[in-house]
Structure 1
């Protein structure tokens, strides 16, 4: 399991498929914020199209990976956010539900087999309303970009505090 010194924030999606672009939109907001305030030095902000190999490459060696992606639910509520957290112990166990058709699920399964999972994985899945060709998020999804960026930033800050505390405890 990866338990390195990095924090990886990965915005997954395609900004040319309407609500599927929520991951890149949140990432763009975090990049804007990075210009005015510093994230911990070990934080990496990256975009990904959802390809499992690319996802694994981005989170490999990270002590925390935060992934923001669009989700389809039937019936769904556009803009509803689901937060899923898996630590190294739970990530190391085989999945109990199918992840058929999900790039993220496939990436977790493949990374598990290869021993290339992050120490902790937090996924923010945002229910979308429209994944057709085109740019721009639907209003309900656009409304969650700012609060979701706040949540991701809080994840980063909390992990940095945990890491500093663990380092201080180990330095005694």
Structure 2
């Protein structure tokens, strides 16, 4: 399977860096079996970067009402497509479902996308270092998200 592990985040915003850090650590585990990239800004140009892969595993921060920092959620793009009130997870203003649709309309081969959204305290606070709760969760996040990716890769190989 031709797969990409893609981390999104901002390395000057405290908790928003978690997607980058977790992805870089997972790259050590999966570097020989999938491509690993990190981006500090989501953008419409992701269409070309995602095109041609069979599967993309995306790791990013999320802030939900009542969420516990350090938890993570697994979504498909259709489950988190932003609505009119922009309440959904977006690759920074362009929803992934929209991105897939646009890519397909442009004749691009678009992948299956699995989103690992890591709950953070505040994705918009500038500063160095993650908040204590998120930083403490990182080792478990690396192991658990890695196991989820491992399961997906094995299921695809068996099919």
Please confirm whether the aligned pair reaches a TM-score higher than 0.5, indicating the same fold. yes
RMSD: 2.8
Question: For this pair of structures, how many residues does the alignment match?
Answer: 151
Structure 1: 5+ residue runs without aligned partners? 167-172
Instruction: Report what 1:134 is aligned to.
Output: 127
- Residue 11 of structure 1: how far off its partner (Å): 0.9
* Aligned partner of residue 44 in structure 2, secondary structure: helix
TM-score w.r.t. structure 1 length? 0.72
Q: Residue by residue, what CA displacement relative to the aligned partner does 1:63-113 show, whole Å, maximum 9, x if unpaired?
A: 211111111223443223221135xxx69xxx5845727326714213312
Q: Select which of 108, 115, 124 maps to 2:116.
A: 124
Q: Select which of 43, 50, 71 maps to 1:59.
A: 50
2:82, 2:95 within 8 Å by CA — same for their partners in 1? Answer: no
Structure 2: 5+ residue runs without aligned partners? none
The structure that has the greater radius of gyration is 1
- 2 CA distance for matches of 1:118 and 1:153? 23
1:145–1:118 CA distance, 2 compared to 1 (3 A): farther
Instruction: Report what 1:114 is aligned to.
Output: 103
Superposition map of 1:146-157 within 5 A: 146-157=139-150
2:51, 2:111 within 8 Å by CA — same for their partners in 1? Answer: no
* Aligned partner of residue 58 in structure 1, secondary structure: helix
Instruction: Report what 2:71 is aligned to.
Output: 80
- 1 CA distance for matches of 2:101 and 2:37? 21
